[in-house]
Amino acid sequence: MTAICSLHIAVTTPGEPMTTSAPEAAAPAPAHRFPPLLVIVVLGFGSLAGALMQSLVIPIQSEMPELLHTDAGNASWAITATLLAAAVTMPVTGRLADMVGKKRVLVASAAVLVVGSLVAALSSSVVPFLTGRALQGVAMGYIPVAISFVREVAPPARRAGAVAAISATLGVGGALGLPLAAWIAQDYSWHGLFWLSSALALVVLVLTVVVVPGIHDEHPAHLDLLGIAGLAVGLSAVLVAVSKGSEWGWSAGRTLAMLVGGVVVLLGWAWYQLRHEDPIVDLRTTARRPILFTNLAAVLIGFGMMAQSIVVPQLLEMPEATGYGLGQSILEAGLWMAPAGLMMLLFAPVSSGLINHVGARVTLSVGAVVLAVGYVVALFLMSAPWQLMVASLVASAGVGIGYAAMPTLVLDNAPESEAGSSVGVNTLMRSVGTTVAGAVMAAVLTSDTQALGAGLPTVPTEHAFQVCFVVGAVAALAGALVALLVPRRGSEVPATTPSTAEPAPAPAGALPQG
């Protein structure tokens, strides 16, 4: 079965014989002409462009049925399709990057982003539009590959900061995308959102091809096609059930069928992966304590990040007639939230400094605690837009610190040959947290409502929003506790893992450290 469902991938460069040796054995490639800092900036820009796809259609979500000539149920897939495609793709692109080389996967992901954006920009009906949105989600596989790649090109002194900055783009892109998309959709055409993303994607593609160096970092192996299919089917079924449960009903037949069916498929997939010579996800590595607890913390902190991103804009946009709503427009709400996105980026260097002084384990826990403090601030200060902005700034600082520490923990504890796939799984765990957060927040907000008047729709009560803030704080604190369960540096680290304390020799073809 393994032989039938796998494809062997080996990589050669012109003039070299095919080899399956470790990358260190490859002949050194000529030094690239671009400095490491520029390469890091390009990788960060590409990751930011990919992350923007998360929130691109949120401002026009309510108008999508009319714009695409379809019903609300079909239109709701505009967000779900992107998130599902990203969740499934990230561990796969990470594994492919380990096998065929990271630059090749980065270039392919950027090209997919160009195609997906153009398809969405040219569409006027639901099927091609959702196809474009799904391709944009696939392109988000650029992000975990960029995170693992930067460790190979950054000088040792800048390594933690570079990883922190690129990891933070996952949150920054989502936060900045909201006001940007609201402004373009309000003052121009909704197609303009995707023409802009097409232009950004093209710039990312060109810069990735020209600036990012080709490094001999391949670890040729069999491509586990059956493993990819099992992961895609099982994960998609579970995430669709979770994200659509509030809409379909949690006891509805299709919700239960997808949830149970997805779990069964994932169990079978796990059994198969443990017996495969070259699994798409090495579950033995994933189950090691440092990576396992880091991924569990990723779910909880991802939950906390997304819950805040969902609840605060809704509270800002609630009509003043509710007695607690702040009556802001979509654009105004987005502008109040925009500084929070910048805060994530600003606190990436803070995270880097903490990692160097107290370690990534404690840094991750500190970030989760700061996120929880942001929820407490929102719980007691929610009567004015500036108060919610302050709460969001605090919460986003925590997300910036925590998100930056996660890949450092993963990369420090994963074998070099599995760096890309390990970061991809960690990014997937964040996506699982955000998906669950969306379902939980929707359930809370729809379970406690009030009527604005005869013939008017019901809206969540103030108490419902307060419950959401409490739930977010509890999730963040749980993430802080789980982070402390990560073993201290030095325990359970595989022999093939490069140490950050004693930098490993630069991979063949890497940029000069200077």
Write down the pLDDT at residue 489: 63
Write down the pLDDT at residue 133: 93
Give the model confidence (pLDDT) of 479-512 as tens digits: 999 999 998 764 444 444 443 444 444 443 344 3
CB 103 within 8 A of CB 126: no
Write down the pLDDT at residue 356: 84
Write down the pLDDT at residue 165: 81
CB 182 within 8 A of CB 60: no
Write down the pLDDT at residue 7: 44
How far is it, in rounded angstroms, from Cα 260 to Cα 366? 36
CB 76 within 8 A of CB 130: no
Residue 198 CA from chain centroid, whole number = 20
Residues 6+ apart with CB under 8 A from 86: 53, 54, 137, 138, 140, 141, 431
Give the model confidence (pLDDT) of 357-413 as tens digits: 898 899 999 999 999 999 999 999 999 999 999 999 999 999 889 888 888 888 888
How far is it, in rounded angstroms, from Cα 513 to Cα 39? 12
How far is it, in rounded angstroms, from Cα 49 to Cα 120? 16
CB 262 within 8 A of CB 235: yes
How far is it, in rounded angstroms, from Cα 87 to Cα 298? 14
How far is it, in rounded angstroms, from Cα 168 to Cα 341? 9
Write down the pLDDT at residue 512: 38
Distances (CA, A) of 95 to 71, 142, 493: 38, 12, 20
Residue ranges of the chain whose pLDDT lies below 50: 1-30, 490-514
Write down the pLDDT at residue 349: 81
Write down the pLDDT at residue 367: 94
How far is it, in rounded angstroms, from Cα 184 to Cα 151? 36
CB 301 within 8 A of CB 430: yes
Average pLDDT, the chain: 82
Write down the pLDDT at residue 9: 45
